[in-house]
Structure 1
Amino acid sequence: MLPTSLSGFSPLHVAYADDAAHIIYLRAHTGSSKKTQDQRRVWPEGRTLFLVNVPADATEREIVLLFKTCGTVEEVVFDLDALAEEGADEESGSEDEDLDEADTPAAPDDRPRKKRKLDKDEPRPPKVIPLPIPPLRTLRRTGHTAHVIFLDSSSLARALALSQPSKGAKSPRPRPWPTSTESPLGLQHYTALYDALRPPLDVVREHANTSIALHDYELAERKRLLQKESKYKKGEAIVDEDGFTLVTRGGAYGQAVGGGVGVASKKFVQQHSRKRDAAGKPGGAKRARKKEGKEKAAFYAFQVHEKKRNELLNLQKKWEEDKAAVEKLRSSRKFKPY
């Protein structure tokens, strides 16, 4: 026997089948006394039903069919999905705030833009063949919560009365769970998911080929637009405000940005001058050989040390020669200094 109330919640017995049952706890939504900035969603008082322990595979349509006899359901919000949407909105909002004011567009035009008409000869963008995705229901964690918003407050009262036993009964009668045929249940759900993750090879090939074709088309279109918008066109010289032609180096001869004026590169000038001197200019080859054979003196440290050593050896040799000459004159006794 189920209790009629549990911590302010009323248990609602739901029967999937004769041998399968589930309990949903419900109560009227009441706003908290402390409101924080995270509570962005304001639930209407008096016509919002708060559900706890919602089935993991429940869909919005099944919740609507469950409370169809109570009144018109305006909206069903699964709290896990709402939190995920708020997190995505916060991330996108923070990215937008980081943008500079210069990057923001000036004044948005509310008028609908006309689609650009494609020429007959212009290629059409290929369409991507998508992979087959069967309609599968979203599986959430067990025991999640949801909010059901009715059109009026009387519908909320009738929904709360579903958990109360009828007159003369000791316990409330289990309500059958409305199973929608829009998506498979149980083992059929996992079988369909297995087949969706393993599509046929020909379908994967068509999807890949069309995706690559679309990528190639976008690259070619981007390149065509860049060439169309570029001011540097082939065969046309670019002249600045002062009347000078813009010139850049490239290849054997330099070339203007758009074409026209050319300037020879330094490497080409050197090669051409060598060939001209070797071919016809008198003395050109001799000067080139003389220049190649010339070596800089005292450029390296060992050259400096060797030069100094040779100078000392020459001085010592000369001193020995002078000493021998003096001794020779002295031995002949013909030395008369005065």
Structure 2
Amino acid sequence: MASSESVVFQGFTVLPMKIEEKSTCLHYIYVKEHSIRDTHQCKPKGRTLFALNVPPYCEEEHFKEMFASYGTVQRVYFHSKPTSGLPAVNTSAFFPTAPVIQGYKVAYLVFKKASSVKTITSLPYDKPLIMHKDGGHVIDTGLSKWVRQYREDVVDTEALQSEIDKYMEEYDEKIQKEIEEAKANEGIADDDGWVTVTKYGKNKGAPRTEAHEKALTRKEKKRRKDKELLNFYSFQMRETKREQIANLRKKFEEDKQRIALMKASRKFRPY
């Protein structure tokens, strides 16, 4: 199909694209102006282009090259599905927290001018976009891609140790701050009369008094005594159950003998 006019399908403009000028295979993306009720400041209304069916190998630099003649692309956001917010960002270089987008994705392109979005949504169908031009951002494929991925998987131990040390330092500072705040607020009543009680005491680590030691000793003796009594009663209950079973068996045998004697002493025999 060839047309000098734009092709619109269900509100999306169909744009053919190919990797290089000499490529014969075409891929199609579907674009329209990003316009929803709940907009985010990162995707301003009028200047944001929404794209569907974006291939996995398409990166931010490729979009900037493809649309360079139609306006300046300030930012490109990739998502696994349409959303109004920002994509998740990894806070660590070694412990990823953001999910990796697998397969095809959607993209939001923020242009410098709103006129760029209007122009792109009116592009003709018979003029494919070129992802990689001479001197542009090369698509990493084949052996070079595998080599790059292998090198990225090699962990820099010094950088990893530095990140761990920084994290532990920030964590210790956070815990120490919580302890200090808890100590400062402990025993102080709020507006409703409630008193804050925490696991951090103001006299934490203070030496025990003689009265305190005696109280702990009495408590430990009581705990041991209760444990011994509990074991004793458990043993006694088992013995009681055994005696009850033995008495029931003895009574059962006596009843059997009594019934046998009654049957033997019957005097009425009709036959």
* TM-score bracket relative to the smaller structure: 0.3 to 0.5
TM-score by length of 2: 0.46
Structure with the greater alpha carbon radius of gyration = 1
